[in-house]
Structure 1
Amino acid sequence: MLRFALNGRFTARKLTGQERFARELILELDKLPEAEEFVLVVPEYASSIPELKRIPVVKYGKVKSHLWEQISFYRYIKKNRLLSINLTTTCPFFSPDIVCIHDAAYYEISDLLTKTLYGKLSTAWHRLLAWGSARWAKKILTVSHYSKNRLSEILKISKERIEIIYDAWQHFNRVGYDDEIFSCLPACVKKKEYVLALSSLLPQKNFVWIKEVAKRNSDLQFVVCGKVVNLSSCSEQDLKCDNVHFTGYISDAQVKSLMSNCMAFIHPAIYEGFGIPPLEALSCGAKVIVSNATCLPELYEDSVYYIDPYNYDVNLKELLGKTVAPSEKILKKFDWGREAKKLVKIVKKIRCL
């Protein structure tokens, strides 16, 4: 019997962190006996629908962008008397039901996110949705204890209403390698001799740090995978440096090849809800450098190298000469299948209310 409608707006968006979270959890839900209680509802124009065997997929509504959730998805769940499960922060305002708010960035670093008109509008909209979720959602999910504590304090809701569903990395096992990416890079970028970073160039990802550290480590090459987005007031030109090379948006197979052959993977974010790329890099056997900000020490413990995201005076070779713990413990800590089972337990409790 159908009871829950999975918000499939992510299937019409580019695959980044939150979309990955939704996609992988749903793929794992599809393997469970309880799959028959879920339906994935997607826009009619969805272009990246996961292949599911047990969870039915319904294409419904042609309304674009955020309005699809507020009109089409909302209409569907009310018409069919289903509870909504929203895994990528946004949700129907009047029926959030179960919603994963990945972080509190729109409150804690709003000064960084409101430097453009798009950023101002996006911040206001996400704050409104979070306000509604805090009041009407039956359960709020998030992806780290750090985010749980901050959301509880900021939205003034009890911690008992918030459950943690972690991100994971096993999707990377399905990805092959594409070494052709090296032919697209300058000849000075040699295997095992470059530092790699992967993300959109959102301001909180702190890619200015990479530019400044690259200047101070001029004997190293830095490869940055990602594109400037509307929330950012900077451009690739702003971040340009002789030993920093941008690839733009590339395939997972190309990313995996770069991660497997880098000297180190670096993630200097000043704010993060979780951060999947460092976990993917660890799964490839790469040395990983992350900032000591927000949730990152909680998640990665002593298996990575830490930097201060506001301090540019870092000798990377010296840092990487230090000893860190093996990555096996961290990789075992995060598993999509385990998190999907956790989600089922949560929705079962709500179903019994």
Structure 2
Amino acid sequence: MKIGIIANSLNPPRTGVGNVVYNVLKNIPKKTLSRNFYLINYEENGLFPESNKIIIKNPFKKITKNFLWCQMLPLKNELNELDIIHNPYQLPTLFNFKQKYIMSILDLIQILFPKEIKKSVYISQKIILSKSIQSTDKIITISHHTKQDIIKHFKIPEDKIKVIHLAANENYKPLNENEINKVKEKYNLNYPFILYVGTLEPRKNIPTLLKALYKIKKQGINHKLVITGKKGWKYKSIFETIEKLNLQKDVIFTGYVPDEDLPALYNAADLFVYPSLYEGFGLPPLEAMACGTPVITSNTSSLPEVVGDAGIMVNPYDVDELAKAMYEVLTNDGLREELSKKGLERAKLFSWKKCAEEHLKVYEEVYNMK
């Protein structure tokens, strides 16, 4: 069995999809990687030297280079010897692969939130993704909620979709005071704080979090809000809300924080709040739970599936409900301790080893299809 993984997402700077691919491959035995896996890329990045490499040069240089490169792949003779192609990048292709074809779909944000993306991207996802999905032998997705979204929007049979949950990396765990203090000093966080981690964009619902912060400040809570993440799409309403509520001294933006610092930030926070309107999975709440940090998140999309009863779930459109939950956690030591313990136990249910094993089962199943 020869499995080709479209692996350009591993190239730096590695982000969400690339991290998923990296962690799956990292947890597959080296002998299996050497015997069965072929990483398809347009450059050599030095990762997974034990696997086989197929380098197909990318003649495209602009921002669309990944999309256009993917369109070439079904036509390339270099892939003819492969039995299976796995496209984990959710970039649809106009042409069908000759091989058995697996596609990973992490979410349908670009379909469900068209106002948050460029019109050209929406059209490519709506039209080309629909065609590409129909050509698959199997679809891998990361939550049962996203599976239902795929069934609803693309009319895909339920048994064609396999749910494989993601996991927090092993460095997300309770840390000692020295490790925490180093990172607190690095970012000058010498006060109690609430943490949010994620891109600054409308879907993340940060203005609602700011309004809830404003309410609990009025009730005597002195915590600041630390917002960690890069600016995304249409983020100006966040800064407008801060100015309107006069929260300039109470909200700290760290910008992008490297992975090696994030576990300590989670550990340092008294509370993690994630009021997102839609997530394909919702990794930040799982990372927070793995660090023992109490979690408040939305009762929408896949988030209840990830958090279960280990966190507090609220209506993300209800500022009062969010503010009440935040106030209760920050003023009740017993509740914070209970949520911390539950979160640590819940996080143990998710692992990259299990994720990798489930991928191998899918490859075997698709290989044996007639």
TM-score range, shorter chain: 0.7 to 0.9
CA-to-aligned-CA distance 1:298-347 (integer Å, 9 cap, x gap): 22110012222111121313145345471244223211111111111111
Distance 1:174 1:213, change over 3 A: closer
Secondary structure, counterpart of 1:100 in structure 2 = strand
| Matches of 1:267 and 1:76, distance apart in 2 | 46
Aligned-residue CA RMSD in angstroms? 2.7
Question: What residue is the counterpart of 2:223 in the other structure?
Answer: 220
| Matches of 2:56 and 2:282, distance apart in 1 | 31
Distance 1:32 1:299, change over 3 A: farther
Question: What residue is the counterpart of 2:364 in the other structure?
Answer: 348
Distance 1:85 1:50, change over 3 A: farther
| Matches of 1:39 and 1:171, distance apart in 2 | 26
Unaligned 5+ runs, structure 1: none
Equivalences, count: 340
From 236, 239, 253, the equivalent of 1:246 is: 253
Aligned counterparts, 1:133-152, within 5 A: 133-152=132-151
From 303, 328, 342, the equivalent of 1:296 is: 303
Question: What residue is the counterpart of 1:106 in the other structure?
Answer: 110
Whichever residue aligns with residue 110 of structure 1, its letter is P
Aligned counterparts, 1:210-289, within 5 A: 210-218=209-217, 219-229=222-232, 231-232=233-234, 234=236, 237-238=239-240, 240=242, 241-242=247-248, 243-289=250-296
Whichever residue aligns with residue 48 of structure 2, its letter is L
| Matches of 1:50 and 1:179, distance apart in 2 | 34
Unaligned 5+ runs, structure 2: none
Whichever residue aligns with residue 60 of structure 1, its letter is I
Secondary structure, counterpart of 1:23 in structure 2 = helix
Question: What residue is the counterpart of 2:96 in the other structure?
Answer: 95
From 56, 60, 69, the equivalent of 1:60 is: 56
CA-to-aligned-CA distance 1:113-167 (integer Å, 9 cap, x gap): 24xxxx2222222223430233101111110111111111110011100001111
- The answer to whether residue 336 in structure 2 is matched with residue 326 in structure 1 is no
Question: What residue is the counterpart of 1:307 in the other structure?
Answer: 314
| Matches of 1:5 and 1:318, distance apart in 2 | 50
Question: Identity percentage over the alignment?
Answer: 23
| Matches of 2:41 and 2:205, distance apart in 1 | 33
Structure 1: 4+ residue segments shifted above 6 A:
none
On the 8 A contact 1:131/1:155 being kept in 2, the answer is yes
TM-score if structure 1 supplies the norm length?
0.86
Distance 1:179 1:345, change over 3 A: same
| Matches of 2:364 and 2:358, distance apart in 1 | 10
